[in-house]
Chains A and B, each alone.
Chain A
Amino acid sequence: MYVKQISVFIENTPGRLAHFTKLLGDNNIDLVSLSVADTTHFGILRGIVADYEKAVKLISENGYTVKLTDVLAVSVPDHPGGLAEVLETLSGHDIVVEYLYSFVRNAGDHALIIFRVDKLDEAEKVLTEAGVRLLSQDEVRGL
């Protein structure tokens, strides 16, 4: 059960990020989850949107390079040690987490966290077996 993440190349020049987020805003595309990784030259904006097909079309038509990546949207119990348990489950199976970031909003007593891992199928399997809930694309659309 994967969800689609958009990754957008943003040059590190003043105003680019603002320009991009305005583009989404003007077209009523809400980033329900977002992280920016940057170097001195460029940044990669990663995020989850309700309607990724619409977002990709809009973004590429406006001259940005965009890529879709499958990631896991994990519902983590919102108490001390909740995230550690999930990470231990993954590392116990030699699954490397490339990066993770949380959703803007919580779902009740659970935090929603995006995991980008190297072995996607295996990660899904071990987390499900450990009783961790993963969100589907449809659930993300409803957020």
Chain B
Amino acid sequence: MEQVYWNPTMETMPREQLRALQNERLRDVVRRVYEHVPFYRNKMQQLGITPNDIHGVEELHLLPFTEKQDLRNNYPFGLFAVPQSEIVRIHASSGTTGKPSVAGYTSGDVDRWAELMARAMYCANVGKSDIVQVAYGYGLFTGGLGAHYGAERVGASVIPMSGGNTVRQLMLMEDFGSTALCCTPSYALNLADAMEREGITLDRIRLKSGIFGAEPWTEDMRRRIEEKMGIDALNVYGLSEVMGPGVAMECMAKNGMHIWEDHFLPEVIGPDGKSLPYGEQGDLTFTTLTKHGMPLIRYRTHDLCTLTDEPCPCGRTHVRMGRVMGRTDDMLIIRGVNVFPSQIEHALLQVPGIEPHYHIVVDRVGTLDTIEVQVELSPSVMSDTVRDLETLERKIVNSLASHALIHASVKLCQPGTLPRSEGKAVRVTDRRHLQ
């Protein structure tokens, strides 16, 4: 591919210039929400501020946060900043409880989203001559359509597969010669496992890039997917409230995801509600600068990560976010110890032959928290003797104790039996809340 960047002017803009653009766009979005969204006008009035107080990013800390609960309270269209007639698309998140959170897009929003996913495609060396297999779910979930529009924007040939039907995915991947795959990392791993099972060797497929997101994953998992599929596996980030996939995208340096700062203003917030300097871990928070349908001010994602503005070898100037280390609201506190599913995943992957298909069940027996880690049994570690499988269980228990510092019981499970929703692995069931 000749061109490295989809939008060189924006992607490599010097940071001072980028800051000036952000200042201008922040003033604009604050004015829009103040004028058109009663929720924000009320909040700002309570804080005693008006749009005139916000000159730029320096004053960002004066603005109120937006929580997911605020989206629920204004369900379904209460946070839209344009008349409904201007909305051309509605997406909704997969709320596990109660009502989903809704996002509305104007035609301009849809256009900008495609532009940002196009940048993401170029980050993964995916362009006009590529064949992109989109195995994210299409529908209310933003994954499918988000990747689809981006791939079309760069002129690639798009296969709108949607999720599921693994055997058919592999057949078309081979027959059509897909060169890029967009899906969740856990589904990519499922496909890689199925390739092994079906005896599809790497010389039969043309895949070179994977754009994986919508759930947290680890470096171990990246290595596995890359080895099994013979590709570069890159991390894409997004959430439907803020836009969908393409809020941030990793480049080939594979060292963090560039947040497209001409459209989103990121902050990392500490436990005291103050914005943290680059390098410190906290709650990732976004202000959307260019969204018209449903702009959000300082939206708390509750994804834990760090930001860095150190120069990237790829030449893009936009800050990078590290891997999401967990969610502040997904963090498990087990017998007083903080445990993130990603730590458990890391511990599992230290056991040879174990695949990162797992499910964590936390329960309370009497006053004591118990944790069971259910692990799918892959063919490579299957044995005909009970002794071997019990040894394997013990190895996993020991690895969890030494790498994640938790004392868990381990249960081996049949492949494909652990819960999944929209192709995303469901990692935790916390039965303590149900009692």
- Is there an interface contact between A65 and B384, defined as CB atoms closer than 8 Å? no
A51 lies within 8 A of chain B by Cβ: no
- Which partner residue on chain B sits nearest A64 by CB separation? B414
Q: Which residues of A contact B382 (CB under 8 A)?
A: 7, 9, 65-67
Chain B interface size range: 20 to 34
Which stretch from B59-67, B320-328, B385-393 is at the chain A interface? B385-393
Partner of A44, one of B385, B411, B414, B417: B385
Residue in B197, B385, B417 whose CB lies within 8 Å of A11: B417
A69 contacts chain B at the CB level, 8 A cutoff: yes
Give a binary string over B219-248; 1 marks a CB under 8 Å from any A CB, 0 the rest: 000000000000000000000000000000
- Size class of A's contact patch? 20 to 34
Contact with B413, one of A11, A38, A60, A66 (Cβ below 8 angstroms): A11
Beyond the given A39-B386, A60-B379, please list 5 additional residue pairs across the A-B interface where CB-CB is below 8 A. A7-B384, A9-B382, A37-B385, A41-B411, A67-B384
Q: How far is the CA of A116 from the CA of B413 in the complex (A)?
A: 25
Q: Which A residues from 25 to 81 make CB contacts under 8 A with B?
A: 37-39, 41-42, 44, 46, 60-61, 63-67, 69
Residue of A nearest to B416 (CB): A63
Instruction: Evaluate whether A42 and B417 lie within 8 angstroms (CB atoms) in the complex, with A7-B384, A60-B197, A67-B383 already known.
Output: no
26 contacts between A and B (CB under 8 A): A5-B384, A7-B384, A9-B382, A9-B414, A10-B414, A11-B417, A37-B386, A39-B386, A39-B390, A41-B393, A41-B412, A44-B384, A44-B385, A44-B386, A44-B389, A46-B384, A60-B197, A61-B167, A63-B417, A64-B415, A65-B414, A66-B379, A67-B379, A67-B382, A98-B385, A116-B385
Q: List residues of chain B with CB under 8 Å of any chain A CB.
A: 167, 197, 377-379, 382-386, 389-390, 393, 411-417
Q: How far is the CB of B192 from chain A (nearest CB, A)?
A: 15
Chain B min CB distance to A118 (Å): 11
How many contacts A-B (CB < 8 Å)? 56
Task: Report if A63-B389 is in contact (Cβ < 8 Å); known contacts: A7-B382, A46-B384, A69-B384.
Answer: no
Given A9-B377, A60-B197, A60-B379, A65-B415 contact (CB < 8 Å): yes
A 1-25 to B, binary, CB cutoff 8 A, 1 in contact else 0:
0000101011100001000000000
Q: Closest chain A residue to B379 by CB distance? A: A65
Which residues of B lie under 8 Å from residue A5 when comparing CB positions? 384
A95 CB → nearest B CB, Å: 16
CA distance A14 to B417 in the complex (A): 14
